[in-house]
Amino acid sequence: MRKLLILKILICLAGHTLLQAQATRIDFVEYTLDNGLHVILHKDNSTPVVAVTMMYHVGSKNENPERTGFAHFFEHLMFEGTKHIERGEFDRYVEGAGGTLNAYTSFDLTYYFELLPSNQLELGLWLESERLLHAKVDSVGIATQKDVVIEEMKQTRDNQPYGRLLAETLSRAYTKHPYRWDVLGKEEHIRYAEDHEFSEFHSMFYVPENAVLTIAGDIEIEETRKLVAKYFADIPRGRHEIYRPEPVEPVRTAEVRDTVYDNIQLPLVLQAYHIPAQGSDDYYAVDMLAALLSRGESSRLHRSLVDEQQIAMMVQAMPLGLEHPGLAIIYAMPNIGTDPETLEAAINKELEKVRNELISEFEMQKVINQTENSFVNSNRTIASRANNLATYHTIFKDANRINTELSKYMEVTRDDIQRVANRYFREDNRVVLYFLPEPEN
């Protein structure tokens, strides 16, 4: 049970970091239709399967502060049906064709995909073009999904032990930037939103110039181009300027420290350090520093806190790599009998060590090996390649990062690790939160 909880935390923090690249080159074709829809085609005929995917450049950071949770709400609404697809039929078309489907929302983007037998490519294009052109933003669908999404907030966040971890961290780490609320958003914002507000959100963000259509798998490029044109070329551009927040957040000059009481059994200590945006030069070193601290049972924090001192049940360090400057989060749960202060002191001691001493050649090589291994494994399936191509295009306007990212990591030196430890993992650049069990009554 406890194990499950930890896993949950990992998942909600893991978010959508871009730890993807590959040793072998991934070829693709890309172009933009007149209406602004970007198209990426990746051909791999080894299995007769095709991934048809749409990524919209809209996430929780594009929301009105008074209407948080809208981007995620749309992810649900987009399965409700369209002008030509009855409620509940979306799933049946895909499964009846032998396929499968799903979607997710993050701080920066929203992603939909169908995985189909390759002779059903056109079905996938029809479904996604319907979603863009004819999505049903009507009162029945909105009312149904309001209930479902509010239930989801309760189940996965508000009533879940440690479920509010990320939301409580963000609201203290950011003061101006829309990263200050989480992807699920506020319950009352969804509850009291009126139908026309949803229509407005759709007409601003669900437009071809704000999307990338990525098709990967068993396709022929020329034929696919024609089909894409058939279903998408006549979809009109949007009529509104798309709202994109500036990456503004005042520089931190002092530590923020707070205590949150929650319905939990064991305390949790969390530190969040401001780090640069994903894809910036220092980001790669920060990511590898996090691996040094907590990837694998021989990592520094795990060995010291869990195995040797036995003061922690678990410890984890991970960067929340985002389009705008994000956070590196370290969190740990003490064994019974260890107070949070002791645990935090032990974490600080390990951080101090990285700041003051150059890491060994051996450890550097270990982190390089781990990074390379996880890279290579992250592009194994056509579904993951489609997702990665779409994300690199959406965030960096450079889908070819799928081929160049790994070399960025390989350029990181031991000095870089020490340098970013000193630059970002500082007391005045962090939020520290103690999550403590609510006192009885």
Residues 50-89, interacting with other proteins (CB under 8 A): 84
Nearest by Cα to 17 from 326, 404, 351: 326
Interface segment toward other proteins; rule CB under 8 A; list 193-201, 208-216, 331-339, 414-422: 331-339
199 burial class (0-12, 13-18, 19+ CB within 10 angstroms)?
middle
Positions 10 through 49 that interact with other proteins (CB under 8 A): 22-24, 46-49
Triad 252, 254, 258: Cα angle to 5°: 110
Interface segment toward other proteins; rule CB under 8 A; list 34-42, 52-60, 137-145, 291-299: 291-299
Positions 257 through 286 that interact with other proteins (CB under 8 A): 263, 265
By beta-carbon proximity to other proteins, the closer residue of 79 and 198 is 79
From 252, 303, 408, 419, residue interacting with other proteins (rule: CB under 8 A): 303
By beta-carbon proximity to other proteins, the closer residue of 151 and 352 is 151
* Minimum distance, C-beta of residue 186 to other proteins, in the bound complex (Å): 19
Measured between alpha carbons, how far is 294 from 302 in angstroms, rounded to an integer?
6
Q: How far is CA 428 from CA 253, 291, 432, in A?
A: 5, 23, 10
Measured between alpha carbons, how far is 391 from 393 in angstroms, rounded to an integer?
5
From 176, 244, 349, 380, residue interacting with other proteins (rule: CB under 8 A): 380
Site size with other proteins, rule: CB under 8 A: 71
Interface segment toward other proteins; rule CB under 8 A; list 138-146, 183-191, 365-373, 409-417: 365-373
Interface segment toward other proteins; rule CB under 8 A; list 12-20, 169-177, 317-325, 366-374: 366-374
Query: Which pairing describes strands 430-437 and 256-262: parallel, antiparallel, or unpaired?
Result: parallel
From 28, 73, 231, 409, residue interacting with other proteins (rule: CB under 8 A): 231
Q: How far is CA 42 from CA 37, 50, 63, 221, 388, in A?
A: 16, 10, 32, 8, 11
Nearest by Cα to 350 from 274, 293, 312: 293
Distance between terminal CA atoms of the chain? 24
Positions 150 through 209 that interact with other proteins (CB under 8 A): 159
Interface segment toward other proteins; rule CB under 8 A; list 29-37, 69-77, 241-249, 376-384: 376-384
By beta-carbon proximity to other proteins, the closer residue of 356 and 373 is 373
From 38, 72, 136, 295, residue interacting with other proteins (rule: CB under 8 A): 295
Report if residue 360 touches other proteins, rule: CB under 8 A: no
From 32, 155, 203, 377, residue interacting with other proteins (rule: CB under 8 A): 377
Residues paired with residue 333 on neighbouring β-strands, in sequence order: 314
DSSP 274-330: E-PPTTSHHHHHHHHHHHHHHSSTTSHHIIIIIIIS--EEEEEEEEE--SS--EEEE
Measured between alpha carbons, how far is 316 from 303 in angstroms, rounded to an integer?
12
Measured between alpha carbons, how far is 212 from 387 in angstroms, rounded to an integer?
11
Positions 79 through 138 that interact with other proteins (CB under 8 A): 84, 91-93, 95-100, 115-123, 125-127, 129-130, 133-134
By beta-carbon proximity to other proteins, the closer residue of 101 and 275 is 101
By beta-carbon proximity to other proteins, the closer residue of 230 and 353 is 230
* Minimum distance, C-beta of residue 374 to other proteins, in the bound complex (Å): 7
Total residues belonging to the chain? 441
